[in-house]
Amino acid sequence: MRLLAATFRLLGFFLWLCAGSASAQESLDDLDASKKADSGKKVTAEVNGYVDNRFQYAFINPNTSLISTANQPSLQEILEGNIQLKLSFGSRAFVYSDVSLIYQNGWLFYDRDGMGGRTKIDDHDVATLRPFVAPSELYVSVSPKPWLNVLLGKKRIIWGSGFAFNPTDLINPAKDPTDPNFQRAGQWVARIELPFEKFTVSTLFAPQVLYQQNGLPFAMMKYPDYPLADGTKPADDAYHYLLAARLYLLLFNTDINLFYFFSNKYNDTFENASRFGASFSRYFFTDYELHVEALGQVGSGKTYPNHLCANGGACSLQTALAATKLQDGNLYPRVLVGGRTQFRDESTLSVEYYYQSDGYSALEFEDYLRLLSRAQMAGLTSAAQPMGGSSGAVPQRFTFDPLRRHYLILSYNKPKIRDDFAIGATLIAGLADLSGTISPSASWNAKEWLTLSLYGFVPIRGIPVGTVSVNDVSYSEYSLLPMDFRFLFEARAYY
């Protein structure tokens, strides 16, 4: 009851703020009321956000995957209340928060029946399906001079030019390429930015969040010396952080970014490692946008299967999958090239090709599958967990985490099928085996404040030419997804 009362009080406070911000703005002087705060007399608040309900059904097929589906619900409900609050202190400083309260649950679980079919298992508790708070952004921004901005807090900062995917984004939680609007969460950072007319210099320090509860961190950069109450021991005594510098240039009508990253065990296994990146974006022939985004790194933080272990030799859990190319001295570029255009009927087409030189070769992919198969037979595979929840980010429908080297991402969106109806589709294809996913969508802006959407998600298992056989079963990269199809109905009301 106390929680309910507190919730209503909070809601009342935000409605009061909304009422304040919704007052009619019929002149520029109304809008500029916040400037009075320069004299210290007034703080202004702006509130907006949305309430979003997603209901999802997935046809779980445990036999297509080498990973247990015991924690993958067929039915899933996610109710999200989002509040974006901006408190301005004059024209030079503001505090911004983008927070979601998420209730979620899942039902109808299946696992293998041992005879090539599936069997229903009892509904049970899954840690990542519990309600949680996702503070996607929470930061203070101060601009003491027009050419100086200081930012402290959690923010999603994206510098690269890629549309569906950003290979130079070493900072943020991965986004869903089938719906780039979906993931809003950033990382905790301290940033100093010097913007000028034709160029910007940014420097950034990001300590890694090591432990968090309900989206709020309680250990950053270094593990505490003591174990957690649940028995979790400190993973190491290293400092986990990332330093980044970026130079942006607007040259010859082109956005050019140059990046430098220095990181130590920040979201990967690189230690005291330097990485470089660049991006480019420009319109050609009036209507055709072209972008390139590239990351250069010496060594790879990816884990690779041990060939002997995968093929029946003796091995341990530590060496079966290990970052064996971390210090091999080779350069492993990751490059995304893409373009976007809008046609006369206002439909938009985006095409992107992604290459990662540290992706698995055919042999490495086969070894990876053999390892999974061995682990499955030994009963070592952990049940796949739905994404989100514990990471402080919203639950992901799909995360692009490519295993191999060549990918194609196509997105098409056609608005105004009839005034408020739009359709779209996103295709992600692994070019090594022509497997992938296709995600059609249809949406209806029923009101200015209400959008109803229906999303499909269908894995394409690939063609026989590129697939890899393990124990007489053919696998492709996207055949590993433990479902035959999924659809999701979403209703989002803005306020």
Partner 1 sequence: MLRFSAATVVLLSLATPTLAAAADPTAEQLLKRYDQVMSPRTFDGLLVMIAHRQDDTTRTYKFRALKSQDDKIRTWFFEPAAAKGQEMLRVEDNMWVYMPNLKRALRLASRESFQGGDFNNGDVLRVNYVADYNAKLIPAEDDKLWLLDLTAKSKEAAYDHIKLWMSKDKQQPAKAEYYAASGKMLRSAKFEDVKSFHGLERPAHMTMRNELATKRYTEMMWLDLKLDLDVPAQKFVVDDLGR
Which tokens in the block code for residue 462? 């690939």
Binding test (CB under 8 A) with partner 1, winner from 203, 373, 445, 474:
445
Closer of 218 and 343 to partner 1 (Cβ): 343
Residue 270's alpha-carbon distances to 130, 203, 472, 481, in angstroms, are 32, 20, 37, 28
The backbone torsions φ and ψ at residue 120, rounded to the nearest 5 degrees and listed phi first, read: -75, 135
Give the rounded distance of the alpha carbon of 193 from its chain centre: 24
Contacts of 388 by beta carbon, 8 Å cutoff, 6+ apart:
128, 134, 394, 395, 396
Binder of partner 1 out of 230, 401, 419, 472 (CB under 8 A): 419
C-beta closer to partner 1: residue 282 or 325: 282
Q: Which of 223, 248, 270, 455 binds partner 1 (CB under 8 A)?
A: 248
Q: Does residue 125 bind partner 1 (CB under 8 A)?
A: no
Q: What is the size of the binding site for partner 1 (CB under 8 A)?
A: 56
Of 39, 51, 49, nearest in space to 86 by CA: 49
CA torsion through residues 293, 297, 303, 308, sign? positive
CB-nearer residue toward partner 1: 248 or 455: 248
Q: Name which position in 54, 156, 461, 486 contacts partner 1 (CB under 8 A).
A: 156
Point out which residues pair with 73 in neighbouring strands. 109
How, if at all, do strands 450-460 and 254-264 pair? Answer: unpaired
Contact 215, 134 (CB under 8 A): yes
What distance in Å separates the CA atoms of residue 133 and residue 329, rounded to the nearest whole number?
A: 42
Shortest approach of partner 1 to residue 182 CB, angstroms?
A: 8
Q: To the nearest whole angstrom, how small is the minimum distance from the Cβ of residue 447 to partner 1?
A: 9
Minimum separation from the CB atom of position 274 to partner 1 (A): 24
419 or 472: whose CB is closer to partner 1?
A: 419
* Nearest distance in Å: CB 41, partner 1: 22
255 binds partner 1 (CB under 8 A): yes
User: Which CB atom, from 153 or from 305, has the smaller least distance to partner 1?
Assistant: 153
Residue range at the interface with partner 1 (CB under 8 A); choices 5-13, 247-255, 360-368, 464-472: 247-255
Q: Show the tokens assigned to 255.
A: 């956005």
Distance CA(309)–CA(313), nearest Å, equals 5
Task: Determine, following the binding rule CB under 8 A, whether residue 250 of this chain makes contact with partner 1.
Answer: yes
What is the pattern of x (binds partner 1, CB under 8 A) and - over residues 19-58?
------xxxxx-x----------------x-x--------
Q: Which span sits near partner 1 by CB under 8 A: 70-78, 196-204, 225-233, 353-361?
A: 196-204
Binding to partner 1 (CB under 8 A): which residues in 447-486? 448-449, 451
Residue with the two structure tokens 């004299």: 39
Q: How far is the CB of 339 from partner 1 (least distance, A)?
A: 11
Decide: is 354 part of the binding site for partner 1 (CB under 8 A).
Answer: no
* Position 16 contacts partner 1 (CB under 8 A): no
Number of separate helices (H) and strands (E) present in the chain = 5, 25
248 vs 457 by CB, closer to partner 1: 248
Nearer to partner 1, 211 or 280 (CB): 280
Report the residue number, 38 or 287, with the smaller CB distance to partner 1: 287
Outline where 268-320 has alpha helix (H): 307-310, 317-320
Task: Report the C-alpha gap between 72 and 107 in whole angstroms.
Answer: 9
In the block, residue with structure tokens 């194609």:
408
Question: 69 with 120: CB under 8 angstroms?
Answer: no
441 vs 371: CA distance, rounded Å:
36
Q: Least separation, in Å, of the C-beta of 319 and partner 1?
A: 40
Residues 355-414 that bind partner 1 (CB under 8 A): none
- Cβ neighbours of residue 469 under 8 Å, at least 6 residues apart? 475
Distance in Å, CB of 194 to partner 1, minimum:
9
User: 212 forms bridges with which residues in the sheet?
Assistant: 217
Scanning 6-14, 123-131, 143-151, 305-313 for contacts with partner 1 by CB under 8 A, the matching segment is 143-151
Binding mask 266-305 for partner 1 (x = CB under 8 A): ---------------xxx-xxx-x----------------
* Amino acid in the structure at residue 441: S
Is residue 195 near partner 1 by the rule CB under 8 A?
yes
Residue 336 and residue 342 in contact, taking contact as beta carbons nearer than 8 Å: no
Please name the residues in contact with 395: beta carbons below 8 A apart, sequence gap of 6 or more.
78, 102, 104, 128, 386, 387, 388, 389
Binding site for partner 1 (CB under 8 A): 25-29, 31, 48, 50, 84, 94, 137, 141, 143, 146-147, 149, 155-158, 163, 180-181, 184, 186, 193, 195-197, 200, 202, 248, 250, 253, 255, 281-283, 285-287, 289, 341-342, 346, 415-416, 418-420, 445, 448-449, 451, 494-495
